[in-house]
Structure formats: C-alpha cells, structure tokens
Amino acid sequence: MERKFIKDFQENTNISGFFIVFAKDLRKTKSDKNYLDLTLMDKTGSINAKIWDNVEDFTAKFEKGEAVAVKAQVTSFNEELQLRIESIRRANVEQDSVYGFALADLLPSSTKDPEKMWSEVQQAIQSLQNRFLKAVVQNIYTENEEKIKTHPASMILHHAFRHGLLEHTHSMLRIAEGVCQNYAELDRDLVITGILLHDIGKLIELEPGLTTDYTDSGNFVGHVVLGRDILLQAIAKISDFPEVLKLKLEHIILSHQGKLEWQSPKEPAFLEALIVYFIDEIDTRFDQMKREIESDRSTGDWTNKMNYFHRVLYKGE
Amino acid sequence: MERKFIKDFQENTNISGFFIVFAKDLRKTKSDKNYLDLTLMDKTGSINAKIWDNVEDFTAKFEKGEAVAVKAQVTSFNEELQLRIESIRRANVEQDSVYGFALADLLPSSTKDPEKMWSEVQQAIQSLQNRFLKAVVQNIYTENEEKIKTHPASMILHHAFRHGLLEHTHSMLRIAEGVCQNYAELDRDLVITGILLHDIGKLIELEPGLTTDYTDSGNFVGHVVLGRDILLQAIAKISDFPEVLKLKLEHIILSHQGKLEWQSPKEPAFLEALIVYFIDEIDTRFDQMKREIESDRSTGDWTNKMNYFHRVLYKGE
Amino acid sequence: MERKFIKDFQENTNISGFFIVFAKDLRKTKSDKNYLDLTLMDKTGSINAKIWDNVEDFTAKFEKGEAVAVKAQVTSFNEELQLRIESIRRANVEQDSVYGFALADLLPSSTKDPEKMWSEVQQAIQSLQNRFLKAVVQNIYTENEEKIKTHPASMILHHAFRHGLLEHTHSMLRIAEGVCQNYAELDRDLVITGILLHDIGKLIELEPGLTTDYTDSGNFVGHVVLGRDILLQAIAKISDFPEVLKLKLEHIILSHQGKLEWQSPKEPAFLEALIVYFIDEIDTRFDQMKREIESDRSTGDWTNKMNYFHRVLYKGE
Amino acid sequence: MERKFIKDFQENTNISGFFIVFAKDLRKTKSDKNYLDLTLMDKTGSINAKIWDNVEDFTAKFEKGEAVAVKAQVTSFNEELQLRIESIRRANVEQDSVYGFALADLLPSSTKDPEKMWSEVQQAIQSLQNRFLKAVVQNIYTENEEKIKTHPASMILHHAFRHGLLEHTHSMLRIAEGVCQNYAELDRDLVITGILLHDIGKLIELEPGLTTDYTDSGNFVGHVVLGRDILLQAIAKISDFPEVLKLKLEHIILSHQGKLEWQSPKEPAFLEALIVYFIDEIDTRFDQMKREIESDRSTGDWTNKMNYFHRVLYKGE
Amino acid sequence: MERKFIKDFQENTNISGFFIVFAKDLRKTKSDKNYLDLTLMDKTGSINAKIWDNVEDFTAKFEKGEAVAVKAQVTSFNEELQLRIESIRRANVEQDSVYGFALADLLPSSTKDPEKMWSEVQQAIQSLQNRFLKAVVQNIYTENEEKIKTHPASMILHHAFRHGLLEHTHSMLRIAEGVCQNYAELDRDLVITGILLHDIGKLIELEPGLTTDYTDSGNFVGHVVLGRDILLQAIAKISDFPEVLKLKLEHIILSHQGKLEWQSPKEPAFLEALIVYFIDEIDTRFDQMKREIESDRSTGDWTNKMNYFHRVLYKGE
Amino acid sequence: MERKFIKDFQENTNISGFFIVFAKDLRKTKSDKNYLDLTLMDKTGSINAKIWDNVEDFTAKFEKGEAVAVKAQVTSFNEELQLRIESIRRANVEQDSVYGFALADLLPSSTKDPEKMWSEVQQAIQSLQNRFLKAVVQNIYTENEEKIKTHPASMILHHAFRHGLLEHTHSMLRIAEGVCQNYAELDRDLVITGILLHDIGKLIELEPGLTTDYTDSGNFVGHVVLGRDILLQAIAKISDFPEVLKLKLEHIILSHQGKLEWQSPKEPAFLEALIVYFIDEIDTRFDQMKREIESDRSTGDWTNKMNYFHRVLYKGE
C-alpha cells in the first residue's frame, strides 16, 4: 500500500498517509446512524473523508487541527474523490517519522527553495549603501530570521502558505531592481528597505501553525500599524537615526496598502512609497490571478466569475 | 481713536489695533505702482487691507505670520469693508502690552472658559473606577496639561481654534454620561477613557501658533497612529496593565474616525469603540453645521450649498 | 414531561410546548416517503422539526404562521438540535392557557418593562414647554397608545421584537437629555418631539402579529412619508400651529434616516434634525452590534464577518 | 433709437429697452468713486451693465428683481458686450406698455405655444378610460390651471423657464404614447396619469416670478412629497377611489426620480412606475444636453467638460 | 402516452417527449449505487430528472447539450416535480420529426411572431431617407438575416431567448418613433440606424445553439467593440460614406451601454447617441422587471428582494 | 539684448526670443483702451504678456497657435513676471533660423535622448522570439516611425510633451524586463508586444503640433479602440497569424487602462494583460507624482492638496 499525496489519489485504490484534519463534524445518516465527516489536507490539496464504522472509537482519537495517520479506500461521490476511512489515529514526529511523517509535507508551501530565497534576500540587505537603513533591516531580519523564513503572507488572499511572506518579499525585491534602475529619481535603498519591511507586521498579525489565524493584536490593531512598531523598536537601538528617514520609513509601512479603504491610514506621499505600494500590488494581484486560474474547475477555456476579480479569466493556452 | 475688534469696524472711521498678518502680497496697480495687499486677522474675524504709500518702507517692517500694530482708515470695496493702512509695525509683548496688546485677542478661541472645562475634565478622570485606566489618563493629562488646554481640535474642519481640543473633549464627555447610563452593556470607564484619549495624537499632528499647521509627523503618520504612541508610552510606565484592556484602548484610538476612508486603519469592533466614534461624530458634525449656518452670507433664510454638507441649511428662526 | 423554552432544550430528552410555525414544507425522503419539515419559534429562539409519521393527518391540523401545541423528542443533526415531533395541533387561548399557553411567550420581546418605559416616555411628553409640540405629541400618543406600546421597530435590522419601537424611542430620549444639556443652541422641545415622532410611520408600515411583515402602504410609500402623514393629521386638529414649526417637524421626520440612500427624501438641514438623526443612528447601530455579537456562533473571541458590519467583532471579555 | 433684445445688441450702438435686474451691486473704482454693477436679463439672454455717473440718484430708483426701463450705450470689455447706462428707472405696465413693455418679453420662456400644449394635455386627460384617474387629474388641472400653464420645471437643471413644467409634461406625454402602444402589459391610464402628476409638487416647491426660487416648503419637504399631498387632497374628494390605485399613484410620484439618492424615498416597484421614471429621465437629460451644447462657448466642434455630463459633447454638424 | 411540454406535467402521470440536456451528472446514492442526475429543458421550462437503473447503458447514449427522446414517470420531491426516466436516447431530425420532434419546441423563444417583427424592421429600414445609412443597414441585415432573426439578446439578463435580439430591436424601433416625432432636433435616420445596429456585435459575442454561451471573441473583445467592426466592414463597401456620419455611428455603438462601467468605452456625446442609450435602457429594464415579477415564487403581493433590482416589486393587480 | 528662455527671465531686463502663442485675447482697460493679453510658451515654461500700444497693427500680425518673434521688457505684476511687448511678428524657419529659431526650443519635450530611446526600443523588438508578434510590431513601428518618435503620451495627465509616448513606452519596457524574469509563468514576448502597442491608438487620438488636441476620432472613439484598429490592420497583412494570439493582443490593448471606468471596455483576463496594465499604471502615476511635486509652489516641505492625488505630497529631502 503506497504512500501518496492527495493530488495523486485515484478512485478504487487503497491509500495510507498523513494529513491535517481541517474540519471534523459528527453527523447522522437518514437511518439515524452516526458518522464522521472530515476534511483532510496535505500540501498538495484537500479531500473529503467519511468514517462510517466504529465512529465512537475513532472520534476520541483525534481533534480538528491535528495531524493524523490514515488508512482508507478512495471512492467517489458526485464526481469528486472521497476517502472511506478504515483506521485513523493522531500522528507524531517521534513515532511516525520513520514512516515518512513530516509536517512540511502536510502544509501547503512555497514551491521555491526557502534557503535560496533567504540567501538572495540577504544579498539585497548587504547591497544597501545607507548605513542606517542597513542596520535597521539587519536588526529586524536577524532577530526574526526563523519566523520570516516560514511565515505565510496572508490568511487567504495571496501567498497564503508556508514561506509565503518570504516568497512575496523576495519576488518584490526582484521586480524592484528594474524599477530602481529605470527611475533615476528613486532612492534605491529606501525602496529596498521599504519592501523588506512593508509586511513585517504580519509576523504579529498572523498566528501560523497547522492552520493560520489572526491574533488578537492582528484584529485590534492590524499588521500595518504593528509593522511600524517593529520598525520603531529597531530604530530606537540605532543612535543618530535621521528623523526624516525614520518618518519616511514609517510612512512607507503605513501607506503600503495604497488606499485608505484597504486599512492604510495614509496614502503614499512620495515616490518611493508609491513604488513600494505598486510592487506590492503587482505581486499580490499576480499571485491571486494565477491561483484563481489554476483552481477554477469550470469546463472550457474560461473560469466562472466567482473569483477575486469578479470576471471570467482565460485558462486556455 | 478707539481700540476696536474687526467685527465692530464701521466704514469711514479711523481705527488702531493689533492683528496677525495672515497674508501679505506685493502687487502693482495698473499704473505700475507698488502696493501691499494684506489679510489681517484677530479673534473676531479677518479683513483685507491695503498699503498704497511708503510701500518699500513698510514692507520691511513685518512678515506674514507676525503680530502687528496698525493705524488705518476703514473704507469699503465691493460692499466689503477694507483697511487703508496709514502705519504698521511689528508688535511685541514687552512694548505693546501697555497699549492693550494680548496674543489671546488675536487668535480665535473657544467661547467657553478653559479653566472650567479643564476642571470638569479632571472630575471625569477622578470618576474612573478602573485603576489602570485612571492611571494612564492621569499620566497623559498631567504631562501634557498646558498643550491639552490650548490646542485646537483641527486645522479647518471643526473646533479649529484655541482650546478647541479641550472644548471638543469636554463636550463629548458630557454627551457620554447619558449614553453610558442608558446602555447597561457599556463599560463606562472604557468609554470615558476612550474619549479623553481619542484625539490625543493631535498634540503631535498639529503645530499651533499664530497660525495652525500640520507637522511632518502629522503628514507622514497622522494623529490616529500618533495618539496610540502616546497611549503605549503611558501604559509602558504602569506595571501589570492588562493586555486585552491595552488592545481595546489601542483599538478605540485607531478606529475612532469610524471609517477606513477617514484614515482609521480599523473600524469599531466592540460597543465602546462604536460609541466613542459616534459621540465624536456628533460633536464634530454639530460644530460644523453650527459654523456653516453662522458664517453663511446668503440673503434669506437658507444658506447656499457651498458648505461641508453640500446642501442648503436653514438659518431662520 | 417538563414545559421548556427552545434555548433550554437538551439532546435526548422529551419536551412539550407551544410554538409559532415560522415555516412548513412538505418534502419526500430518498425512499419517496412524505415528511413535514418545520421551523418552530418561541421568544427564546427557533429550531428545526420533522414529522416523519402520520404526515397526512398532521399536515391538516395547522398552517404556517399559527401557534401550535407540540410533543416531541429532542435529537440532533449536523451538530444542531432538532425536534422529532410525535404530536402537533393548533393552540388556542381558551383551551390551552391552563397549560401555560401565552402568546407573549412565543414572540421575542423587549427585555425591558413596557409599562415602565411608557411611563417614562409620558414624563418626557409632560416636560415639553412648547404647547403646540406638547399637543401634537399627546394627540398622537393617546390615539395610538396600544400600538406604540407593542410595535416592533423594524422587521429584521434592529429592535425587531415586541415593544421594540417603544424601547428604541425610550432609549433615544434618555440619550437626548445629555445632548440637549450639552448644546445650548438646541431647542430641546424640538429634539424630544422629533424623537417621539421620527418612527411613528412604522405603525402603518409594519403589520405586527405572530410574524412581522410590511403592509402595502409600507412597501409603496414607506414609514418616513407615512409618519409625516400622522404628524400632519394631528397638527390639522390644533389651531394656529406655527407654520415654520410644522415644517421643521415634517423635515425632522423626512430626514431622520440621515442619508438620501436610506430612503430619506431630505437630509438634515438644521441642528435639531441633525441630532435626531444621530441619536437614531447610535441606538440602531448599538442594538445591531450587540445582537451580532450575541448571536455569533464562531469559536474563539471573534465573530466571523458575515454580519451587518462586514467585519470581525470582539466577543471576549 | 431702436427697441432691441439682448441677443441682438451690437457694439457701439445706442439702445433702449426693458429688462429684469438680476443682480445689483454698489462698488468703488480704484480711484474710490462709486459705481453700480448690474446684470440685466430679458428672455433672450443677460448682459453686464455699469452706471458710472449719478450713482446715488439712480440707485434709489430700482431694486434687484424689478423690471426697469433703460437707455444705454453698447460697449465691450474683455471681448464681451457691456452696457454703459445713461438712464434707468422702474418700469410698470400702466405707463410703459405703450412703449412695448411686456413682462413676457423679459422672462425666458418655452419656445412652444403654451395654449397649444395645454390643449393637447387636455386631450390626453380626456382620453383616460379609468374614471377615477380621470377625475383626480381633472380636479388638479382645473384647480391649478394658471399655475400649471406658466410654472418652470426646475430652477436651473432643465426646462428652467416660463411654461417649462407644461413643456416638460407635454413632451413626456408624446413619448408615452409610443411606449404604451409597444408594451401591452402597461396600463396606459396609469402611465398618463403618472406623467401628468409626477412633478405637480413643483407648484409648491418653486416660487416663480421675475426670478425663480425655492419656497420654505420646497427646502424642508421637497416637490416629491409635496406632489403626493396634492394627489391625496384630490383623491379625498372622490368617493370610492380604489385603495391600491391610490397607493400606486402615490408610489409613482414618490419614485419618479428613480433613485434614492435623487430624493425619491422609494424606487419604482412596478412597470408603470418604471416607465414614468424613464420617460422623465429621457426628457430631462435631453433638455440638459441640448442646452449644454447650445450654450457652450468653446472654439471648435466640441464643448469643454465643464457641464452636467462631465464630458466633451459634439457641437458640429 | 401523450406528448406534453414541461409546464403541463402532472404528478403521477407518464410522459414521452423531447428535451435538451442542460446538465448531466453521475452521482452515487448513500448505498453507493450509481445514478444519473439530469436537468432537462424545453421552451416552456426545465425539470430535474433521475435515472436509477441501467445507468451505465444510458449514460453512453447522450451528452450534455444534446437533444434527447425520453420516456418517464412524473414524480415529485420537495414539492417540486421530477422525472424518473425509463428510457432515453439521442434525438435527431431525420428519425424523430415524424414523432413531433422540432428544435424550436425545445428552446425558449420570443412570444411574438419573428416573421412579422422582421417585416416591420424591414419597413423601418425602407423608411430611412439618408442613402448612406440605408445602405449600411441593408448590407448588414441582408448578410446576417438568418442570424438576426434567431439570435438571443443576451445570455441571462434580458431577452435571453430565441429571436430575443429581434424582439429587442423591434421593440426599440417602436418606441423610437414617438421620441423622434417629439424632438425636432433629432436626426431620425441616425436614431433608427443606431437602434438597428447597436447590439449587432451580439451576433459574434454569443454562440447560440441548444444553449447560449460566450465566444472567445465575446470574452476577449465584447459585443460593443465587435459591433463596430461589423459596421466598419459594411461602410468600407460604400463609396464616399461621409466621415463624420461614420464616426457618429461608431460612437452610437460604442456608447450605447451609456456608462463606462457597463463596458462602453465612451459615453453618449450627442443627442442621438443619448436617445439610443435611453431606449435600450427602457426596453432592457422593462423586460427584466417583467420577468422578475413573473418568475418570483414568494407568497403574497410582493416579490422578495433577490432580484436584479434588489428591492421588493409589486405582483398584485 | 540676449536670447533667453522663459525660465531664465529676470525682472527689469529686456529680452528677445521666439515663442508659441498659447492664448491671445483683445481686452479693454478701464479707460476703454484696447490692449492684447497673451500667454507665450517655450519648452521651459509659459509667461503672460501685454501689448499696450499699436494694438491694431500688432493684432493683425499673428494668430493664436503660431510661433512668433518677440522683443519685450520683463516687468512683474502680482509677484509674477510679465512681458511688456515692444514688437511682435510671425516667425518662420526660412527667415529666422539664422537668429536661432528652432521649433524644438518652443515645445516642452522629453529630457531623454529620443534616438537613444528609439534604438533601445528597436532592440526590444529584435529580442522577440515569436515571429508573429515580431512581425506585427515591426510593421507598425516601421510604418509609424516618425510619429512614434515625437508623439506626446497624453494631453495633460502624464508624459504630455514631445517624445512623451516614446519615453513612456521605453520606460515600461525597462520595468518589464525584471518583471518577466521574476515570473516564469509570463510569456515575455506577449508582455513586450503588449507594451509596445498598448498606447498606439494615441497616434490617432491626439493631434500634436504647436499645441496638442484631441481629434474627432479621439473624441468619438478613443485611443483604446483605435489602437486595436492599428493592430488588426497590421495582423491582416501577416498570413496564418494564430487566432488566439490575435485575440490576446486585442484584449491587452482593450484592457490596458485596467478598469472599466477608465474607458477600457474589458478588464485584464490573463496574466500578461494584468502585467501590461500594472506597468502602465506605475509609469503613469510615477510621472504624475514627480511632476506634481516639481510644479507645486507652496512654501514648506509639503505640496497643497490641489493635485491629481488629492493629498499633500512631500517635497523635502
């Protein structure tokens, strides 16, 4: 019985594997018999699963949000695949890693190599000429290295996966190079620093884990203002940090959503702030459109309109 | 020659007085002669003034934004009163106070007694039951007493005058009492504290003086976020300040404009935040409508539409 | 078998009770057998109910919108409680009041004492100084006493329950006192009268009963304009009613929704109209936010976004 | 010295004529001499005029809003024609009709024959089959015949001239015939009656005269609601008027602006109300676009964007 | 066994007939048995249908989008009628016309006679005075006669049925006559031509057939721009076509949606373009409101709000 | 008497030079004497100018929109410089080039070298791999080389100067390189071609010359649709051009404004269209913000709010 990921499941085969329990509901059949209705997830997708027998035993063995080891048969219902579970139990690293259990396999994750992205981001930091900007970024990136490497960039909208924040930042830095070369008026150091720090408040706003959620700080205050806090704490450790430079960095973070109605308390008031906003916008919308096109299940060459853009998108070649 | 305020000037009389120079432009007549075109201001209003003679001498004696001593004749042009200046010079406290010069006469100011308002605000602070909330407000109000007593509440829109912030806060507190008594669900301490601190960032955002202006911090960051800074600095000095209480206060300040498009990065997420927003809204719009009605110069019982509300307002009895 | 209200039902118990039939649909099982799918309601909530047996007999015994006497077993489906009905019949006051049947138990209702609220509203009317305003309110409140005491304030949005209109009006009056004391410019009599009459058109717009619905007049004309009709009819009985006072009252009613897009054909054009609008706004939004927070069933300290405010609300302490 | 209308004035000629004084301001020249600055108007247009001499005498002889007899020289200033007035006095019918004075010459007016339009409107009334609708329209049109014949349809936006209301109504009736023939579903009587009454509240909202203005009722209540009053008063005199028919007529008047933000407290809820709204819309926008194109003074084939439509309009052939 | 249309089906009868397969899904019962879930459609409506037996045989005999011959029993489920299919096979004209199979019976269609409408449209074309306009319309209508006669006017929103485009155009022409007679300023030929061509791009945008869908050109380019292509191709064949006339026709087509946000790249810039837009608007909204009222299934005299207009509509007499 | 450009003029000097007459108005002084009021322009700015003497002679010698040779004295009025013209006549290349007359000196122009930009644009064209895309761009760029080199990119909003279209296109190409390298999903050829052609309709929409204006085609049709015409004409000459590729190019041009309300009849429906829109947006907004900051004349470090962005912008270092 082969170890497979969800995207490779085929009808009428038996599988074993590890998954995260995304949803778990106890229901009754028409004939009043209990069963468990689950949604299981690994990094390649999600699938509905049912437990028809021994429901009372099994339901005690795991909770929603946990990682589980599963044996099941792949069936189908309404033309979608479904698992009929034969056994299920909580998984854990000590016991199950010999069977191939690794949390990284369960969580959707960037398709790019995080260490390579991290290394290129470090080069961008090294390239900064302004010693104040370089110091403030180094402080923040050194102190938060582990978090920055693994954090998602959002809950749902874009780069909503492990390493998502790093992938988003890394992608923006690559776009920024061409933009800064094109416009002689731009202070490249300020643009690069702005990109590196614009979403840093996400480290506080979002609580990653097996499933991502907003923290209380995230809901009460929001990543835009929280990111400025991280900036100001780092600046406070650097002597003689120029006042206007500090204000400009604060403003870039506060205005990076670009529009007041997107929770930015200020809109871009100078060229570098405008550019950080636009590069963020490009990378965000690009990721959203790519995913909407990939995930649409309509027949034919066009998606339906039920997506972020509220319009049909072209899926053909 | 009598000392008079602008609102009491009458055509074809001579006056002497002290004013702030709100605008000063050197212009030429059709016949190519230099003259000075001024706007002078005291606490009762503003008036256009001309210097036709000795222009070169007079122009060197004062700058825009300064207080001046003036002798002039009251004429009229296009049915509006105007000054024909005979002499003008910089005013100063040492020399001119014997002649009745007092800065307080030149700046528009609250019509209410600031000491009385301050005293009632202090009573509101004393009435707080929650020792954390009381401490944080006391710290901030003690440290900023002088500023809070005199600051305007905005540049133009509402309470845009000396003591305006105090008058606005004081007025909101009075409304809050009835509201808190009416809704048993409300934590009165949180509402009162929210009102006392909601606009505290204005102390940093606006630079008062002979004329009010935005500071760099005001333009780059804004009073909403700056007010939260003042709050957090005060909380940092109080040990064991409860975390959720801190977040709620932050949220009240961040959301008090009520709508994202009004530069609030969050919108009210609990009842006390909703109430602080609404009481702020009432006091702001009330002051605006009152002033629009008072300052409208249309004939008849209705204002024109050129006001904040974009509609005709009733001026009759 | 104990008499219980819906909010106190527990799985695997038997109950008997009286309910309003909010929905009644005849359906078929997969095996082509008829069953009845009902929604039952009392003042504490609503619950789904099924009749699997003797469907043809039972379906003839009651209609949607009627009060019924029910015996049933409390089961659960999809983690929500459900009733399996054993017997059901029409309830009526004559026969069933001995068993505890009272319509007041079936309809959601204000949690405040209507007689106490009515009495305080009467005091507000007595406090009016202006004899014309006092007369017009007294006429309307005397003539419509029974209706005003029991009417809901809306179908769904706020105070959508028995005595809702009275509770809403009463609450607004309490807030108004502090506001009128705070602003010397306000004509208190006009504000109080405006509050007492602003929603009076709801008496015609909404048809209360076991379930509230819009009348034809409500849909064709709307409570804003219908309220002005009631006002004008009362004024017509008072001799020498001052013309401008009449127009101001009409305007307060017509503009009390505050914004054209909320079905107000005029927006507030003087201070008292502005204040009536704002106090209505506060009491409406407060009630909505309170209910959204109470009724949200998400886990954790935050509601989901599927509410009137389209944002997460804080439910924690 | 020939009697001429404003549109026929030519530079360097002398004219005499009768005009309405649209604006009258006493001003001073640079050299401090009083002069009168006037705007004079007849049915063909308006012109600026100056009185440089005998200002004190002349200013006593007429007021703004009156009709005057004038002798003057046609000069030009900034490429626009201007009058230099030699004599001016109040005009009156008794004395001046022998000189050709007629108020109708002074007021801009429909270019169509009011008696002919009135007669065709009467035919439309006669054509109504439903006796209730016929009666209500006849009552209103008989009682208000003189007013309806001469009233403007608005202050500024469209048909803002003598007989404008009649021209607007008449034009809508002509369009309605084709529409009613096209859609068998329409109740023609209801559409025709709706058109005849939709703007009837303008009789109260606007105070016509030498210059049009809003009445207090117009500002406090508005023509939409006032028109329904006229309707209800007329219906009250007709016995057995069907209730739903009454509500539909009320609704047509209340919803005829089509959108809430245009001061309609309801939006069209049945086909006849939708059609009355659309025909009103066509006639209103047509008149506006026609006038914007006629009155634009840009060179070339396109207007500028400073018009109701906020876009360039084509003026060429 | 009688030949019946869907709207005439009655429970517990047997039917045979021809239908279009609008949806076809293979599903499993709780007991894991395959069945087919279909939606069948004819010109009178649509109905759900199940195949419980011989699923594998039947599923091979037809595809979604095809016409089929069906024998079935009419049952009901959830108070809606449903078919239990006994036999099903692909239908075709050669074999089945003797049994009454006609595609025209399967597709919803205009209730008006297409030949009569076509003939009246031809009269409108003949009535054109301007030889260039007449030529361009004749070219297009001759070349596309068959398509124009049968095309729907939209996928869903209005006139979404066979002959819908012709019915919509025909209806607009009838309205236009009265409008053109009313406004002497209008160039009737231009209005009539504009109406005849405004939606001509729908011939390319929509792919009619058993079910209507957007073409790639429709999605990438849209009917507004595609319609101008058809116009320009026809004009290219006519020598000396006046340049401004060509531009005006282009503009009428490009601006006929009236508003930029409705995919019109220009808004009407002259009177004829404004009129074509408004007549299109009337006919479109009229058809929508009529269908919303007809298709609403709420009890009582009012529709619910779940319709194009987002408000309740009156369904009573 | 030195040859100087407008930005170098100093009060109380005499100048001679060549200018374009941007505005020319005949006016009268208070004393009724004719004078000419002109606005003159060269590539460095614009200035007001007066002709007080020999007005009749001079006015015959030139028209608005022509190039003129001028001798004048630099004076000032209202603190702005002004010319008092002593002589003026039409300039022409034959006669005046020896005196330094060159049209290029009179028109505002890109600060970048057009030949260098053109050469880099040619390299971008050469780099295209897809032979169809390369052919279509080469055809269009070869045929329109002179126009593309000199055209402005807009009338007012951005790159509104000689070579503006080339500068805008060139700048977008430079940004595109980094973006295409960053996103492996992008078809670089399609993005580059989209950029090269997105604004090509401006060649028809705008009539450059001494002053830029919209053509009739520009006003009736607009550059978005006109640009697609140029594309289609070029594609028609290339055999076997793939259909979907053609549609994608059409869509990129039609959707490049990004939003329906900005006159794009479609919004981007695939990734390359999204990217062309965003790069256009960046370059447009960057140019606007840069120019708003440069041209603002407020004192202090902040612009006023009277700019495209409706907010204060930072002008300091």
User: At CB < 8 A and 24+ separation, what contacts does D45-51 make?
Assistant: D45/D5, D45/D6, D45/D7, D46/D6, D46/D22, D47/D6, D47/D9, D47/D81, D47/D82, D47/D83, D48/D77, D48/D80, D48/D82, D48/D83, D49/D82, D49/D83, D49/D84, D49/D85, D50/D82, D50/D83, D50/D84, D50/D85, D51/D85, D51/D88
Structure tokens at E252: 């009428």
Evaluate whether D260 touches D267 at the Cβ level (below 8 Å): yes
Please check whether residue C302 touches A, CB under 8 A: yes
Worst-scoring range by mean pLDDT, B23-32, B219-228, E177-186? B23-32
Query: Rounded to 5 degrees, what angle do the CA atoms F21, F27, F33 make?
Result: 125
Determine the average pLDDT of the residues in C133-160. 91
Contacts of C269 (CB under 8 A, 6+ apart): B311, B312, B313, B314, C251, C255, D219, D220
Distance CA D170, CA E183 (A): 12
Q: For residue F260, which residues of chain E lie inside 8 Å, CB to CB?
A: 260-263
Burial class from Cβ neighbours inside 10 Å (0-12, 13-18, 19+) for residue E31 reads exposed
Which backbone phi and psi does D285 adopt, to 5 degrees?
Answer: -70, -35
Question: How far apart are the C-alpha atoms of D152 and D166, rounded to whole Å?
Answer: 8
Size of interface D-F (CB pairs under 8 A): 22
What is the SS3 assignment for E22? strand
What's the pLDDT at D267?
Answer: 94
Residues 256-275 of C with CB under 8 A from D: 260-266, 269
Interface probe, candidates B22, B24, B30, chain F, greatest F C-beta count within 10 A: B30
* Dist CA F45 CA F230 (whole Å): 34
The letter for the amino acid at F180 is: C
- CB A314 to CB E28 under 8 A? no
Give residues with Cβ within 8 angstroms of E279, minimum separation 6.
Answer: E172, E175, E176, E179, E195
CB F58, CB F88: distance < 8 Å: yes
Which residues are CB-neighbours of F134 under 8 A, at least 6 positions away?
F125, F126, F128, F189
Q: Do E30 and C30 touch (CB under 8 A)?
A: yes
Structure tokens at A243: 């006042």
Q: What is the pLDDT of residue D23?
A: 79
Q: What's the N-to-C CA distance of chain D in angstroms?
A: 38
Tokens of D287: 């008149």
- pLDDT single digits (tens) E95-130: 888 888 887 788 778 889 999 999 999 999 999 999
Q: What CA–CA distance (Å, rounded) separates D203 from D205? A: 6
Q: What is the mean pLDDT of chain E?
A: 89
Residue type, D245: L
Walk along chain A (317 residues) in steps of 10 and give the mean pLDDT of each run. Answer: 75 87 76 82 85 87 85 79 91 83 80 94 97 98 95 82 92 96 96 98 86 88 97 97 98 92 89 97 96 80 88 91
* DSSP code for A161: S
> What is the tens place of the pLDDT at every residue in C214-251?
999 999 999 999 999 999 999 999 999 999 999 999 99
- Residue from A111, A179, A187 whose CB has the most chain F CBs within 10 Å, to mutate: A179
C-alpha–C-alpha distance, residues B161 and B165, integer Å: 8
C-beta atoms surrounding D169 within 10 Å: 25
Residues of chain D with pLDDT under 70: 1-3, 30-32, 78-79, 210-211, 297
Q: How confident is the model at residue B32 (pLDDT cuts 50, 70, 90)?
A: low
Whether residue E70 contacts residue E18, with contact meaning beta carbons closer than 8 Å, is answered with: yes
- C-alpha span between A46 and A29 (Å, rounded): 23
pLDDT band at E297 (very low <50, low <70, confident <90, very high): low
Chains that touch B (3 or more CB pairs under 8 A): A, C, D, F
Helix, strand or coil, per DSSP, at residue D22: strand
A263 and B266 within 8 Å at the Cβ level: the answer is yes
Q: Which residue has the tokens 């309609």?
A: D264
Say yes or no to pLDDT of C193 above 70: yes
What does residue B136 show for φ and ψ, rounded to 5 degrees? Answer: -65, -40
Task: State whether C263 and D263 contact (CB < 8 Å).
Answer: no
pLDDT of B43? 81
Residue E92 pLDDT greater than 80, yes or no: yes
**Residues C50-73: what's their mean pLDDT?**
87
pTM summary value: 0.85
Tell me whether residues B269 and A219 touch, CB distance under 8 A: yes
What does chain E come to in residues?
Answer: 317
Residue of A nearest to B252 (CA): A220
For residue B42 the two structure tokens come to 């005291």
- Euclidean distance between CA atoms C181 and C275, whole angstroms: 13
Distances, alpha carbon B303 to alpha carbons A152, B312, B313, C146, C259, in Å: 55, 5, 5, 42, 19
Mean local confidence (pLDDT), E241-257: 97
Distance from CA of A4 to the nearest CA of F (A): 27
Per DSSP, the three-state class of F62 is coil
Give residue A40's identity as a one-letter amino acid code: L
Give the per-residue pLDDT at F7: 81
Q: How far apart are the first and last CA of chain C?
A: 37
Does C241 lie at the interface with A, CB-CB under 8 angstroms? no
If phi > 0 it is left, if psi is from -120 to 50 it is alpha, else beta; for residue C212 that is beta
Q: Looking at beta carbons, which residues of chain C come within 8 Å of A219?
A: 302, 312, 314
| Structure tokens that stand for A57 in this block | 């035993």
Highest mean pLDDT among B120-124, D259-263, E89-93: B120-124
Shortest CA gap A173–chain F (Å):
9
Tally the residues of chain B.
317
Separation CA F264–CA F246 (nearest Å): 18
Q: Which of E222, E260, E269 is opposite residue F261, by nearest beta carbon?
A: E260
Nearest CB partner across the interface for D79, out of F25, F30, F216: F25
Summary count for chain D: helices (H), strands (E): 13, 7
> Taking a C-beta distance cutoff of 8 angstroms, is the pair A255, A244 a contact?
no
Gyration radius from chain C CA atoms: 23
Tokens describing residue E76: 């009901």
Judge whether residue E246 has pLDDT over 90. yes
User: Which residues make beta-bridge pairs with D30?
Assistant: none
Instruction: Answer yes or no: are the C-beta atoms of F169 and F256 closer than 8 Å.
Output: no
State the pLDDT at residue E30. 60
DSSP assignment of B138-169:
HHHHHHTHHHHHH--S-SSSSS-SBTHHHHHH
Q: How far apart are CA D230 and CA D224, in angstroms?
A: 10
* Mean per-residue pLDDT over chain B, rounded: 89
Chain E stretch 20-39, residues whose beta carbon is closer than 8 A to a beta carbon of chain C: 29-30
Residue D63 has, within 13 A of its CA and on its CB side, a CA count of: 2
DSSP alpha helix (H) spans, F97-215: 103-106, 114-126, 131-143, 145-150, 164-182, 188-197, 202-205
Q: What single-letter amino acid sits at C135? A: A
Q: Is C308 within 8 Å of chain B by CB? A: no
In chain E, beta strands by DSSP E: 14-28, 34-42, 45-51, 67-77, 80-90, 206-207, 213-214
Is A2 an interface residue toward C (CB < 8 Å)?
A: no
CA dist D38 and D47 (Å) reads: 8
Q: Report the C-alpha dihedral over residues D221, D227, D231, D233, rounded to 10 degrees.
A: 40
Tell me the C-alpha distance between F310 and F317, whole Å: 21
pLDDT recorded at residue A211: 66
> What percentage of chain C carries pLDDT values higher than 70?
96
Q: Find out whether F204 and F218 touch, Cβ atoms under 8 Å.
A: yes
Query: Is A314 at the interface with chain E, CB within 8 A?
Result: yes
Alpha helices in D92-158 (DSSP H): 93-96, 103-106, 114-126, 131-143, 145-150
Angstrom CA distances, C57 to C85, C89, D213, E11, F43, stand at 13, 10, 71, 21, 94
Q: Please, where are the H alpha helices in chain D?
A: 55-59, 93-96, 103-106, 114-126, 131-143, 145-150, 164-182, 188-198, 202-205, 216-220, 223-236, 243-255, 271-295
